[in-house]
Structure 1
Amino acid sequence: MHDYTKEDILRMVEEEDVAFIRLQFTDIFGTMKNMAVTVSQLEKALDNRCMFDVSSLEGISGELDSDMYLYPDLSTFEIFPWRPQQGKVARLICDVYRQDGTPYEGDPRYVLKRAIARAAEMGYTLNAGPECEFFLFHTDEDGLPTTLTHEQGGYFDVGPLDLGENARRDMVLTLEEMGFEILSSHHEIAPAQHEIDFRYDEALVTADNLMTFKLVVKTIAKRHGLHATFMPKPRIETYGSGMHVNLSLDRGGVNVFQDSEDVNGLSREGYYFIGGLMKHMKAVTCITNPTINSYKRFVPGYEAPVYMGWSSRTRGPLIRVPSGKGVNTRIELRSPDAAANPYLALAVLLEAGMDGIRNQIMPPDCIDEDIQKMTPQRRAELGIQELPRSLKEAVEELEKDELVLDVLGRRLADKIIKAHKKEYHDYCMQVTDWEISNYLYRL
């Protein structure tokens, strides 16, 4: 995060020959939007005087007050390295405000900032580190995306098996040029699947970084003639793409999850945070896994979690406590995917965990067996529950969880629920290739 002033940005724009500035914001579905202004309008934008009409945006349409303002966050100013060196293009991530100067409660960035403020009242700061997986596929002769690939690379393979390594290298270099600290990048399990991990940061910075990360990955892939997709399950026969999220809480600069005397290296607050996540996980899943396709990833045998359990020793549960201890103590939630709106996802995860701390909710016992290989009888004996197996089930769980509804705000929650119900209804009306191949001939 940069500590820029208005004067700093005006000076850099002049020195770097910036011609366009993109004022970016995110809709409720996690899609990046923007309004571009020229340098002549930059001072107006920096004074929070850029109005835009939200009446046609998904999830916002229907607002009586449809004229709103974009308030740029000066710390997010970046110049796009891939644009021309003359007449460069820069961006500012913005918050959405109403005409009366109050934050728009349906702005996902505001929802996260509100959750962060609530935790700060108790002295806590959330740090989050995502692990983003994505596929690189060919495009057709019209430049449209396909699910085709020539490569057969697998976990940690290198070229020539890994045909996407050049594109991935350019993504990493571009991200670093934009201030990211890249921890690692590698080929994932499935052909054409990749992962790039960047350093954890405070929750709002991480959410902003996730939106920037997806933009960079897609942009650089296109420059290599490829299509990058964060779709959770684009191919039937192989693994899906997840976005594991590593979480820790600081208080006064100290990681409060750590306890060197505990068998799992966790403090009471760490256990309570897990307890809160487990309590609200079914409703949270509607936000962290927000599409029909998200639930195609929750299939036994493909590494994604299906059952709700936690462990510090096995790698396959819903929540894992990694081996790093002391200042590196953290909780890894393995169910989210990158289709999630990062602002809303981190907001509900933070508030669920804080509910655990406020109410001292202890999680179920640690399970150090492979849950997916257990018999149904053994899972029932241990009281292990399943994650929602469809978007419909997840929406139903969201509707029952008062805390998660409150985090989102009732109006925003209603819009999300309505949109997901329509999506599921439209999906149920489809006749798929599978149905044709299985029923057309024999029925």
Structure 2
Amino acid sequence: MGCNCNKTTREEIMKIIEEQNVHFFRLQFVDILGNMKNVAIPLSQIEKALDGNMMFDGSSIDGFVRINESDMYLKPDFNTFTVLPWRNQSGTNAARIICDVAKADGTPFEGCPRNNLKRVLAEAKDMGYTMNVGTEAEFFLFELNEDGTGSTVTHDVAGYFDVDPGDKGINCRREIIETLEAMGFEIEASHHEVAEGQHEVNFKYADALTAADNTVTFKWVVRSIAAEYGLHATFMPKPVFGINGSGMHTNQSLFNLDGTNAFFDEKGPLQLSETAYKYIGGLVKNAAGFAAVTNPLVNSYKRLVPGYEAPVYVAWSASNRSALIRIPASRGVGTRTEVRCPDPTCNPYLAFAMMLNSGLDGVKNNLEAPSSVDQDIFSMTPAEKEAAGIDSLPANLKEAIDALKMNPIADETLGSHILENYIENKEQEWDDYRTAVTDWELNNYLNNY
């Protein structure tokens, strides 16, 4: 896994390959939707891969390029090299490395989400800031159907922070943690979540690029280890009606280039700096306009409804968990904002870029944060919410897409290639959903009309 501040060298990688008998190598990258892809290569091709000379057909990846410009290269980030603990077979190991996608002429491909985040982070650095991020991705463990597909039948009836024997996912969760630790993650906590079959594993924050790498790796590890236990792990936001869905609370902070936390001011209101308040103002202003990226599925908006702890209302607070943006109690180096709307199906490279530039929009334009809302927003009347200036997030994917189209920072943040292809994909998803005949319609209409 590695941190971008502790540089891994080619020589170190070759030494690990020899010492741990690595025979297979996965070159990983993500598509525009955040789906992990990989090219698997044998030991004989590893030096070629480390040189960045492995080519693949980009036209086969959704939203990448047309077939007449399809030759692309995978440029490995040595800091992401790690041996895969669960892939040991007959004494030989497999490893992975995350790659950036380059065009045939060697220049960064603008449709690569990882390249795009690096560009946005470089622009933030020109303003004097780096970004740290910590994600909290929830997931469900379900039983398998007879055909091996995932069901929505949970294998436990435990609740929030419950223990075994009620929490039957505890052994699977333990192996997930042990696997992540072997890959370099620093695990801070894990527990059973509110809903039956729902779990959370928290790992330490990192710089934004490493955090995005960690998030896609985490989801891959969870699904892989769950499969070893005969379970289906899903990060779907709302797989079961009537119970809590799965979110991905995203903690984020800006640091000055001298290493100090730009959000902390010991003498400021709530010990928050002017930069922090402007960043909050930018998040509030742009929340509806980034929801299509942080909450990218039709199903995402089945989670974002009142009554299930999901944040629906665009407000901030230092004490109120019903607000979209919460300020956790930690101060000093731990001063941060927690954006609570994202769900774990988002592409973290795009989501982090959108949230960062949304906050920086507030910093650049001196936006004032609205007054904090410290009462339970779910209990407020519509008139009270209107009087407090509290807007709602989009109610469905169509509204979110429209808001993304109208968001002036979307194109500069995602670039025209990613934005156009992303919108095209999401509009097709909405149209497929809009025209589908659902079980709900059949149950309610077929025998009544």
Q: Which residue identity is paired with 1:7? A: E
Q: Residue 261 of structure 1 aligns to a residue in which SS?
A: coil
2:181 corresponds in structure 1 to 176
Aligned-partner SS, 1:167: helix
Query: Structure 1 CA distance, aligned partners of 2:65 and 2:333?
Result: 45
Q: How far apart are 1:371 and its partner, in Å?
A: 1.1
Q: Is the contact between residue 6 and residue 74 of structure 1 (CA under 8 Å) also seen in structure 2?
A: yes
Deviation at 1:364, TM superposition (A): 1.2
1:136 corresponds to which residue? Answer: 141
SS at match of 1:318: strand
Contact 2:141 2:155 survives alignment (8 Å): no
Task: Give the corresponding residue for 2:273.
Answer: 267
Query: In 2, Cα distance between the equivalents of 1:63 and 1:130?
Result: 36
Q: CA deviation at 1:150?
A: 3.6
Offset, 1:262: 2.6
Q: Once the two structures are superposed, what CA deviation does each residue of 1:356-390 show, in whole Å capped at 9, x if it has no partner?
A: 11111112111111111110011111111110111
Instruction: Report the alpha carbon displacement of residue 63 of structure 1 after superposing the two structures with TM.
Output: 5.6
Partner Cα distance (2:98, 2:367) in 1: 36
Shift, 1:355, TM fit: 1.3
Q: Where does residue 342 of structure 1 map in the other structure?
A: 348
Q: Is the 8 A contact 1:352 1:404 kept in 2?
A: no
Match of 1:38 in 2: 42
- The amino acid of 2:71's aligned partner reads D
Pairwise CA distance, 1:261: 2.0
Q: Which residue of 1 aligns with 2:209?
A: 204
1:145-160 equivalences under 5 Å are 145-160=150-165
Instruction: Indicate the residue corresponding to 1:194 in structure 2.
Output: 199
More displaced 10-residue stretch of structure 1: 53-62 or 370-379: 53-62
Q: How does 1:7-406 map to 2 (within 5 A)?
A: 7-62=11-66, 64-84=68-88, 86-251=91-256, 252-406=258-412
Q: Which runs of 5+ in 1 are unaligned?
A: none
Q: Partners of 2:320 and 2:186 in 1: how far apart?
A: 28
Structure 2 distance, partners of 1:368, 1:260, is: 21
* Greater Cα shift, 313-322 or 183-192: 313-322
2:415 aligned partner? 409
C-alpha change, 1:61 and 1:98, in structure 2 (3 Å) is closer
Query: How far did 1:194 drift?
Result: 0.2
Deviation at 1:236, TM superposition (A): 0.6
| Number of residue pairs the alignment of both structures matches | 443
Corresponding letter in the other structure for 2:14: L
Question: 2: distance between equivalents of 1:262 and 1:301?
Answer: 34
Listed one character per residue, the Cα deviations across residues 217-249 of structure 1 (whole Å, up to 9, x for unaligned) are: 011101111010000000012110000000111
Which aligned runs of 4 or more in structure 1 are off by greater than 3 angstroms? none
Q: Quick one: distance in 2 between partners of 1:4 and 1:380? A: 53
CA–CA distance in structure 2, aligned partners of residues 227 and 210 of structure 1: 18
TM-score, length-scaled by structure 2: 0.97
Q: Which amino acid aligns with 1:372?
A: F
Aligned partner of 1:22: which letter? Answer: R
Corresponding residue of 2:8: 4
Post-superposition Cα deviations, 1:41-66, rounded to whole Å, max 9, x if no partner, equal 11111111101001121111426411
Superposed CA RMSD in Å reads 1.0
Contact persistence 2:294–2:351 (CA under 8 A): yes
The answer to whether the 8 Å contact 1:112/1:343 transfers is: yes
Cα deviation code 1:338-358 (max 9, x no counterpart): 000010011111111111111
Q: Name whichever of 211-220 and 255-264 sits farther off.
A: 255-264
Select between 259-268 and 24-33 the one with higher mean Cα deviation. 259-268
d(CA) in 2 for partners of 1:303, 1:45: 46
SS at match of 2:420: helix
2: distance between equivalents of 1:37 and 1:78? 15
Paired AA for residue 335 in structure 2: T
CA distance in 2, matches of 1:62, 1:363: 43
Q: Which amino acid aligns with 2:32?
A: I
How far the C-alpha of 1:16 sits from its partner, in A, is 1.1
What amino acid maps onto 1:418 in structure 2?
A: E
> How far apart in 2 are the matches of 1:63 and 1:334?
39
Q: Say which is worse superposed, 406-415 or 82-91, in terms of deviation.
A: 82-91
Identity of aligned residues (%): 51
Q: Classify the secondary structure of the residue corresponding to 2:330.
A: coil
Task: Report the Cα distance in structure 1 between the residues aligned to 2:88 and 2:427, rounded to whole angstroms.
Answer: 43
Q: Answer whether contact 1:307 1:371 (CA < 8 A) is retained.
A: yes
Distance 2:190 2:7 in 1: 28
Give the AA of the match of 1:74: F
SS in 1 for 2:86: coil
Letter in 1 for 2:45: Q
- Partner letter of residue 188 of structure 1? E
Compute the displacement of 1:7 (Å).
1.9
Which secondary structure does the structure 2 equivalent of 1:127 belong to? Answer: strand
